[in-house]
């Protein structure tokens, strides 16, 4: 889970840090009222929630919330304030993303309550790359509008955080195609993939010009886990319907063999 905390008072940030320092699986970034920097960070990172002070010198926390929602519609909001502000004073646009208020001075229990809510509402895309490739939200399989948009996503996930350029994608998805026609097919696959991810409210790709970059924060992937732990359901097949997938088998087989050797000892 990744959160940002925005408060112009350094003491308030220290209090927040002291409350969450022992919490597990939370990435956090603190800001002191720099709207441009905050918006830049949210634009390039999948942030689950923002804890925002309302009254700050440069900007109002509610106005900042509106900017953040425009950048990342899935973001959840908690307002921190010493004022008697209520949800009724928020615009419907902001209210729909707001979990509640932390009234200063707040208790540990109040903060933990909101952290728990954020964890419960966090959307995670579960990806299965061993055997055939599929994606799930909960128990529901994600439906792709075209086979190539699905394959493009699988290829990007196989890059494991590395940037996938248009030329790399074309060389692997349309290796024998006409260059100009392949570019058109690539752009169509990108457009369809973007629509699918928007529809399921998973904002995990930075859509650059001629390149795609992945934010792994909203994704759980059996392939990524296997590379780290050597444990999982790999039995010799990886995205088996895609020709380019054979390039990954040697590394996966090597990991499996090392695991078998360790078990035999």
* Residue 152 contacts residue 190 (beta carbons within 8 Å): yes
Task: Look at 109-113, 148-152, 188-192 and tell me which has the smallest mean pLDDT.
Answer: 109-113
More confident site: 144 or 73: 144
Return mean pLDDT, the chain: 90
Residue 263 has pLDDT above 70, yes or no: no
Q: Convert the pLDDT of each residue in 155-189 to its tens digit.
A: 999 999 999 999 999 999 999 999 999 999 999 99
Nearest to 87 by CA among 103, 104, 107, 108: 103
Residue 118 has pLDDT above 90, yes or no: no
pTM higher than 0.95, yes or no?
Answer: no
pLDDT of residue 261: 62
DSSP states along 37-67 = HHHHHHHHS--SEEEEESB-SS-BHHHHHHH
More confident site: 134 or 32: 134
Q: Convert the pLDDT of each residue in 35-93 to its tens digit.
A: 999 999 998 887 889 999 988 887 888 899 999 998 888 889 999 988 777 788 788 88
Q: Convert the pLDDT of each residue in 198-224 to its tens digit.
A: 998 888 899 998 999 998 878 989 999
Cα separation, 4 vs 41, in Å, equals 9
Report domain extents, the chain: 2-121, 125-264
Cα separation, 118 vs 74, in Å, equals 11
Name the CATH topology of 2-121: Rossmann fold (3.40.50)
Count CA within 13 A, CB hemisphere, residue 65. 27
Residue 190 has pLDDT above 60, yes or no: yes
172: its two tokens = 């692997």
Other Cβ atoms within 10 Å of 106 Cβ, number: 18
Cα separation, 67 vs 259, in Å, equals 48
Residue 24 has pLDDT above 70, yes or no: no
Compute the average pLDDT of residues 218-246: 92
Residue 265 has pLDDT above 60, yes or no: no
Query: CATH assignment of 125-264?
Result: 1.10.10.10
Cβ-proximal residues to 166 (8 Å cutoff; 6+ apart), any chain: 183, 186, 210, 211
Give the position of tokens 């939200």. 137
Residue 196 has pLDDT above 70, yes or no: yes
């Amino acid at each position: 889970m990744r959160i940002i905390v925005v408060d112009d008072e350094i003491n308030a940030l220290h209090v927040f840090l002291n409350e969450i320092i022992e919490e597990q699986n939370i990435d956090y970034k603190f800001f002191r009222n720099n709207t441009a920097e905050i918006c830049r960070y949210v634009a390039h990172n999948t942030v689950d929630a923002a804890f925002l002070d309302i009254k700050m010198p440069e900007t109002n926390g509610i106005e900042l919330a509106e900017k953040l929602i425009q950048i990342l519609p899935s973001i959840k909001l908690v307002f921190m304030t010493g004022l008697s502000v209520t949800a009724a004073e928020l615009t419907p646009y902001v209210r729909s993303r707001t979990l509640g208020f932390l009234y200063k001075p707040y208790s540990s229990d109040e903060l933990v309550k909101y952290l728990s809510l954020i964890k419960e509402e966090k959307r995670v895309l579960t990806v299965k790359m061993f055997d055939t490739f599929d994606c799930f939200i909960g128990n529901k399989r994600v439906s792709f509008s075209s086979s190539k948009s699905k394959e493009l996503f699988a290829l990007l996930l196989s890059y494991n955080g590395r940037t996938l350029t248009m030329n790399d994608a074309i060389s692997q998805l349309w290796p024998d195609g006409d260059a100009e026609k392949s570019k058109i097919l690539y752009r169509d696959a990108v457009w369809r993939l973007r629509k699918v991810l928007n529809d399921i409210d998973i904002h995990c790709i930075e859509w650059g010009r001629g390149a795609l970059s992945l934010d792994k924060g909203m994704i759980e992937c059996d392939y990524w886990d296997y590379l780290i732990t050597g444990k999982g359901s790999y039995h010799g097949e990886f995205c088996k319907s895609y020709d380019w997938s054979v390039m990954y088998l040697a590394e996966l087989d090597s990991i499996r063999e090392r695991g078998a050797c360790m078990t035999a000892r």
